Structures are given as structure tokens and as C-alpha cells.
Amino acid sequence: MDTSAQSGTNFIRNQIEEDLRAGKREEVITRFPPEPNGYLHIGHAKSICLNFGLAQEFNGRCHLRFDDTNPVKEEDEYVNAIREDVGWLGFDWGEHQYFASDYFEQLYAWAVELIGKGLAYVDSQTPEQIREGRGTLTTPGTESPFRNRAVEENLALFTAMKNGEFPDGAHVLRAKIDMAASNMNLRDPVMYRILHAAHHRTGDSWCIYPMYDFAHGQSDSIEGVTHSICTLEFEDHRPLYDWFIRSLEIHNPQQIEFARLNLSYTVMSKRKLLQLVQEEHVRGWDDPRMPTISGMRRRGYPPQAIRRFCERIGVGKSDSWIDLSTLEDCVREELNETAPRRLAVLDPLKVVITNLPEQRIDTRAANHPQRPEMGTRTMSLTPEIVIDRSDFLEDPPRKFFRLAPGKEVRLRHACIIRCDEVIKDDSGEVVELRCSCDPETFGANPADGRKVKGTIQWVSTEFGQQVPVRLFDRLFVEPTPERAEDFRQCLNPESLQEVRAWVEPELGQARPGTVYQFERIGYFTPDTKDSSLDAPVFQRTVTLRDTWAKQQGK
């Protein structure tokens, strides 16, 4: 793994260093704790890189622990997908894979212990009554009439809850803290609820399940976690986290909170992502337009690019909205180094070279301009080729370095051609160009010293192949769909376009796993799901920077 990354510093790293220096901790154990109720997205990647990265950096370890305390939402499909994604990102949890459900027995015993200490009680109010009793942000709550039940009665009731003697919602176990606390989390939070639901791992063994607050900290404690890193919204829970640890007198991990990632032009909440999938706005969790790890993998984003992105955006506590261009830049940076180059024509315009000396002229083309070790391939120029429609303009603006009537341009890896004649159909559309070539310019500049600034890609219609290519655009037209009244109203109707492109012959056998650069266009890779052995379906990973287009847009 590349640890060479530009390691900027951040407040969490600083604090860990301080804890180690001061002797408060002797090792660093972190954990990535996803709830298996959805697929991982780029926001999770930030947390994964942070937790695993810190553990690596301090020679500690990072656990993968599934926070599966709510059986109605969690599924094995999700735990498998999560394991695959974390591994693909390049992180290894070794033997340290855990489930909060592994600790149900221990958690139950601890609940009993707290009841014994008079720190927990069974509340028999209805959910509505409990809500009303909690008070509001500005008014204190009121104590439940069941708050002062005897320890023995609490024990008997809690045992009966566990034994399935009550229906869902009949009773709840609550921590006895302070109904007037200004921090709502301390107003006698619920520890256990009755849920007659099958759990993905424990099946029907339990019909009471611990709440997040009564499971997370203790799970960290059991595993010896030293630094429990989570997102900002849990900051208010820290006093409760500490209260349980203190009341139980067990190992005390330290919770540290950081700001979650927000990315422009996409949504990150699991609920919204689930909705996109269920309402079929996308073709599944791994749709290449999704901000999920699996979607990015399918789209061709290399894991190194995602790790670099997480390193680059830093870690802080202020709400941040990262621009999509930052992510795309990381993807380009990686792919520019590794992607073999090929020529492809997405929007073909037929060109006939009228004076080609032979029916076929072979040239050697480097697979990467800066990396000769990536080898070369042969390209065959024939009298009939296609070029991209956007590389020809009948009436070009100043500084248009491509083809136009009477103008010259270089065919990449081949020779210079001049446009002699423009052929149109009845409707006036240009359907063919007749060009003459300068045979002296194969692998050489014009002997007379004339300058031909433009170079364009081409494909021989005799040897090339036609393949489907999907062009993705951002899923949303609004920079912050997350804030919209209805984020679905912001969906980009043109986020997926499919064209039929001409590509170099060997691309017809391309397999998923390799990302190519189609020169002057972008990076493309065969889709893992829709490609077959000899029929790849290409998709655009990301475009190349295009300063010409940018200038034109102004």
C-alpha cells in the first residue's frame, strides 16, 4: 500500500500523538463500524481511510465491526458487500472482524448489572408517553411513573422481556440518569427495546435488542479500542458513551468526532441512496453513477484514487462540501499514469483519403507517451477512416487547430491530411470528407517547415470495431441535491447516454479491469456486468481535461 501519500496532519492524528506521548495510551486500536443496512459510499471511504490509516501509521490495528443491533434493517447481503468494498479499497482487518451481535450476551449481563446498581429501570409507558415525558429542547422532561420501581421488580420484568413474555413496545429498559439534563441524550435514554424480529445472525435467539448507545461504546470497550472515531452528530452522545463505560467500570475508549463528507452533485444519505435504487432511478447500488464504493469500482475509479482523495480532503470539524472536481482530479492523476492509450471515435464522420499510396499503411503507436515500457501496437491506416464530428468545422473560429475546408491536421500516429472536399446529404448535413494526405509526414514533420498544430484521433473502418459506449454525467443537476425539498427533482435526465463508437480493433476483446485512455476524450473501461467475452460495453470513467471546450464555453 502506498504510505508515501502526502500525509498532511489533522487534529485526530495530533491528539493520538499527544495521548501516546503523555502515556495516556500505549497503543492505537481503531475500528470501522458500519451498520449492514446499505452499501458503503465515498463518505464511508473517508472514515475507512481515517481509521485504517491511523492504525497503520501508529503500528496498531483497525477492526471491522458490524453494528448490527437493529434486526429489521440489516442483511447479510450488506455485510458481504461491505467486506468486499473495504478489502478492495486496500485495507485488511486480519482476524479482527466482529459483530455487535457477538456481544449480545455480555451486553445483557451488563444491563442486568446496571439494574442491580439502581442505574436502569423498566419503563412501561407507551412510546407516545415516553416522547412526551422527554420534554423539549427548552423544557426539562418529567420522570416516568415507573422510574422508581424496585430493583427486584425491574429484574423480573427485564427477564420476562428477554423471555418473550411481552409484545413489541410493551416495555423498554431505560438508563436512570437525569430527566432535566440539557443534553437530551441524558434524559433516561432507552437501552433495550422489545423486537420480535429475526436477526441476520442470531436468528430468533433474542427478542430484545440493545440500542446503539448501549451497544457501541461497550463493543469498543470489549475490543480494547483506544480511539473511537465517529462523525459529528454523535458528539452529543459522548457524555452518554462515557456514562455507560464509567458506570460499568470497564476499559474506556475515547470517542473523537469529525465532520462527515459531503460531495457536490450527489447525495450521501443511505435513505436517499436506497430510494434511488428502489425507485429505479439508477440500476442498483453499484450503478456507475452512484457515489457508492461499488459504483465507483464498476465505473473504473482505481482504489488508489479514492485513497488519495480521502487524504487530500483532510479531516476537520467544520461542515464541508467538497467539489466533485477534487475527486475527478484524483482519478485522472492515477489513470494518467497507468492507463494504456487507444484511439476511439465517439461521433463518427467518414473521411476518404484520396491519395493514400497503398491500401494499408501500418504505423507503430506508443501505448503511453511517457512510459515506453508499456510498449507499442500497430495501427493500420486505410483509405476510409472515421474521425470525430467535432474535429471538423466548415466555418472554424480563430485558433481552431483541427480540420476545416482547405486546412490540414495530423492524424495521430500517422500522417497529415488536408480537407479538399466536403460532401453533404440532401438536408445539408456533412456526411463525408475527401482528403489528401502528405505521405512524407509519417513520423516526421513537413519538410517545408509548415506548422500543423492539431492532431486528431481516427479509426480505420476496415480494421476498426464498433462498440457501445456509455457516457455518464453527474447524477444531479444541482450542486447540493441533499438540501433540495425533493432531491429526485434534481436528477439529471441525461446522466446516462449511450453511443456507438468506432474503436481500434483489439479493443473488441477488451475485458473489465483495464481502464484505457481514449486519447483526447477520456478514460473508459468495459462494464463488468454488461460486457460479454467478445462484446465489451465501454463506459466513461472520467473525461480528460479540455481547455479548448472550456474556452469555448466562455
Partner RNA sequence: UGGGGCGUCGCCAAGUGGUAAGGCACCGGAUUUUGAUUCCGGCAUUCGCAGGUUCGAUCCCUGCCGCCCCAGCCA
Residues with active-site annotation: 35, 260, 270
Instruction: Count CB-CB contacts under 10 A for residue 284.
Output: 15
CA distances, 77 to each of 34, 101, 200, 343 (Å): 13, 16, 10, 40
Give the shortest CB-77-to-RNA separation in angstroms. Answer: 17
When the beta carbons of 287 and 334 are compared against RNA, the nearer one is 334
When the beta carbons of 287 and 464 are compared against RNA, the nearer one is 464
The arrangement of strands across the sheet holding 516-518 comes to 341-342, 516-518, 522-526, 538-543, 465-472, 496-503, 344-345
Give, as one character, the DSSP assignment of residue 499.
Answer: E
| Residue list 418-457, contact with RNA (CB under 7 A) | 441-445, 454-455
Cα dihedral sign, 425-430-432-433: positive
Angle at 356 between CA 352 and CA 360, to 5 degrees: 95
Stretch of 247-255, 275-283, 366-374, 527-535 lying at the interface with RNA (CB under 7 A): 366-374
* Contact between 9 and RNA per CB under 7 A: yes
For residue 55, the Cα-to-chain-centroid distance in whole angstroms is 22
Contacts of residue 242, defined as CB under 8 A and 6 or more positions apart, other chains included, come to 217, 252, 255
Among 212, 430, 446, 463, binds RNA (CB under 7 A): 212
Give the shortest CB-503-to-RNA separation in angstroms. Answer: 14
Left if phi > 0, otherwise alpha if psi is -120 to 50, otherwise beta: which for 255? beta
Give the shortest CB-459-to-RNA separation in angstroms. Answer: 15
* Contact between 6 and RNA per CB under 7 A: yes
| Residue list 266-325, contact with RNA (CB under 7 A) | 312-323, 325
Stretch of 154-162, 182-190, 495-503, 525-533 lying at the interface with RNA (CB under 7 A): 182-190
Residue whose C-alpha is closest to residue 381's, from 346, 408, 416: 416
* Contact between 514 and RNA per CB under 7 A: no
* Contact between 399 and RNA per CB under 7 A: yes
Contacts of residue 250, defined as CB under 8 A and 6 or more positions apart, other chains included, come to 218, 221, 222
| Residue list 378-397, contact with RNA (CB under 7 A) | none
Among 25, 341, 470, 540, binds RNA (CB under 7 A): 341
Q: Is-contact 524 506, C-beta < 8 A?
A: no
When the beta carbons of 26 and 319 are compared against RNA, the nearer one is 319
When the beta carbons of 166 and 285 are compared against RNA, the nearer one is 166
* Contact between 200 and RNA per CB under 7 A: no
| Residue list 450-509, contact with RNA (CB under 7 A) | 454-455
* Contact between 227 and RNA per CB under 7 A: no
- CA distance linking residue 294 with residue 222, whole number of Å: 31
| Residue list 127-166, contact with RNA (CB under 7 A) | 127, 130-131, 134-138
Among 92, 165, 233, 394, binds RNA (CB under 7 A): 233
When the beta carbons of 90 and 314 are compared against RNA, the nearer one is 314
Relative orientation angle of helices 11-21 and 42-57, to the nearest 10 degrees: 30
- CA distance linking residue 513 with residue 524, whole number of Å: 11
When the beta carbons of 283 and 377 are compared against RNA, the nearer one is 377
Left if phi > 0, otherwise alpha if psi is -120 to 50, otherwise beta: which for 3? alpha
* Contact between 224 and RNA per CB under 7 A: no
Stretch of 22-30, 121-129, 287-295, 420-428 lying at the interface with RNA (CB under 7 A): 121-129
* Contact between 250 and RNA per CB under 7 A: no
* Contact between 259 and RNA per CB under 7 A: yes
- CA distance linking residue 188 with residue 176, whole number of Å: 5
- The per-residue DSSP string of 238-289 comes to HHHHHHHHHHHT----EEEEEPPP-BTTS---HHHHHHHHHTTSSSSTT-TT
* Contact between 400 and RNA per CB under 7 A: yes
Provide the grid cell at 6: 502526502
When the beta carbons of 31 and 410 are compared against RNA, the nearer one is 410
Q: Is-contact 415 439, C-beta < 8 A?
A: yes
**Residues touching RNA, count (CB under 7 A):** 96
* Contact between 167 and RNA per CB under 7 A: no
Q: Is-contact 419 433, C-beta < 8 A?
A: yes
Stretch of 109-117, 298-306, 398-406, 525-533 lying at the interface with RNA (CB under 7 A): 398-406
Give the shortest CB-353-to-RNA separation in angstroms. Answer: 15
Stretch of 144-152, 189-197, 294-302, 501-509 lying at the interface with RNA (CB under 7 A): 189-197
